[in-house]
């Protein structure tokens, strides 16, 4: 059976939509779009999800405008999407996964407009190589950090990198952490409360080395009240995701250049060092270097499926908190 984004038909209890009267493109991109934005506000979507949907819709609308498309209905929507899929593949550096995401994000809007389409996602490489770093490579990045950043920024980024590798925290989770989320439990172990997806929380261990780096970072701070963000930008507000990504790119590029000069080899960290690659890195480290049970690592990384965790097994029972208390790098 083909895997369709939307199968012709309707959800249980709904009438099957067989035909939609042609609508002008400006009606789609204005009237329906504005109604859909109001509709989204009634849903429990995160701000990031809303922004992603809006961006994908506006990108599609821009394409329709460039093609001077005049109207859309159930007879031509599938062809339009196929043409758009081809356009994305031939224009710009879009991976197949990204193209599929763009198309998928159009789904709820088109359904809202009572449009039914049938299009297959682009096949992706199922066993694509996971981007991750070895602990030795993270040490090289931390070395570069001290060389090219001013003292306060270097201290902050060192604490940030070690914290993200230690806990496997997602970049958005990092921006939400407050100082009060770091505590010492009844067993005298350092823990942190992570505020994750869907308002879920998790309590993880933090090793002593990371705590020491965080304390050094906080010594440079004026506001260390419990409610203050743990990682802040220049304004004193939570460090932004884009700022973190920018710092990571700079460190990766500078480390590649230094390693080429020192060793004659290029580790290509610019292709692998991202905030999310640290999450991949700790998964592989715990499973394959420390040989931790896969079910414990699953809980530590807050994966919904055990299959996701098993994906990181490259070589073929402590409590979850205790994992994080071990010194990693």
Q: What's the token pair of residue 256?
A: 């590649």
What is the dihedral sign for C-alpha 209, 213, 219, 222?
negative
State the pTM of this model.
Answer: 0.61
Question: Looking at residue 327, what is its pLDDT?
Answer: 66
Distance (Å) of CA 254 to CA 77, 133, 157, 213, 270: 47, 16, 15, 22, 9
* Distance separating alpha carbons of residues 44 and 326, to the nearest angstrom: 37
Question: The tokens 């480290």 sit on which residue?
Answer: 285
Q: HSE, CB side, 13 Å, CA atoms: give it for residue 309.
A: 19
Q: What is the pLDDT of residues 118-158, one digit of tens each?
A: 888 877 655 456 788 999 999 999 999 999 999 999 999 99
Question: Looking at residue 45, what is its pLDDT?
Answer: 79
Question: Looking at residue 170, what is its pLDDT?
Answer: 92
Scanning 168-319, the segments in alpha helix (DSSP H) are: 171-176, 208-219, 241-263, 275-284, 294-301, 306-310
Question: Looking at residue 318, what is its pLDDT?
Answer: 39
pLDDT under 70 in the chain at which residues? 1-21, 124-129, 197-198, 314-329
Q: What's the token pair of residue 90?
A: 């031939």
Q: Beta partners for 178?
A: 229
Q: For residue 35, how far is the Cα from the chain centroid?
A: 28
């Amino acid at each position: 059976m083909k895997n369709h984004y939307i199968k012709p038909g309707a959800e249980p209890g709904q009438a099957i939509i067989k035909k939609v009267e042609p609508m002008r493109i400006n009606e789609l991109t204005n009237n329906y779009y504005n109604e859909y934005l109001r509709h989204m506000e009634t849903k429990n979507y995160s701000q990031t999800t809303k922004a992603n949907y809006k961006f994908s819709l506006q990108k599609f609308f821009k394409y329709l405008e460039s093609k001077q498309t005049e109207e859309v209905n159930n007879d031509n929507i599938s062809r339009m999407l196929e043409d758009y899929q081809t356009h994305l593949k031939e224009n710009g550096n879009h991976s197949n996964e990204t193209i599929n995401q763009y198309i998928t994000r159009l789904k709820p809007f088109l359904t809202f407009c009572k449009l039914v389409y049938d299009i297959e996602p682009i096949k992706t490489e199922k066993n694509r190589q996971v981007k991750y770093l070895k602990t030795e490579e993270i040490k090289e990045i931390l070395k570069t950090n001290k060389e090219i950043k001013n003292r306060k920024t270097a201290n902050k980024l060192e604490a940030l990198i070690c914290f993200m590798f230690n806990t496997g925290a997602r970049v958005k989770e990092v921006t939400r952490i407050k100082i009060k989320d770091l505590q010492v439990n009844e067993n005298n172990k350092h823990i942190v409360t992570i505020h994750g997806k869907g308002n879920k929380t998790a309590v993880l261990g933090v090793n002593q080395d990371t705590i020491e780096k965080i304390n050094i970072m906080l010594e440079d701070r004026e506001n260390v009240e419990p409610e203050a963000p743990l990682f802040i930008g220049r304004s004193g507000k939570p460090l932004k995701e884009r700022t973190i990504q920018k710092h990571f790119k700079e460190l990766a590029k500078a480390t590649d250049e230094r390693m080429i000069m020192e060793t004659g080899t290029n580790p290509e960290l610019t292709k692998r060092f991202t905030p999310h690659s640290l999450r991949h890195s700790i998964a592989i480290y715990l499973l394959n270097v420390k040989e931790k049970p896969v079910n414990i690592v699953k809980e530590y990384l807050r994966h919904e499926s055990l299959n996701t965790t098993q994906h990181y097994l490259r070589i073929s029972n402590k409590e979850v908190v205790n994992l994080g208390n071990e010194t990693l790098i």
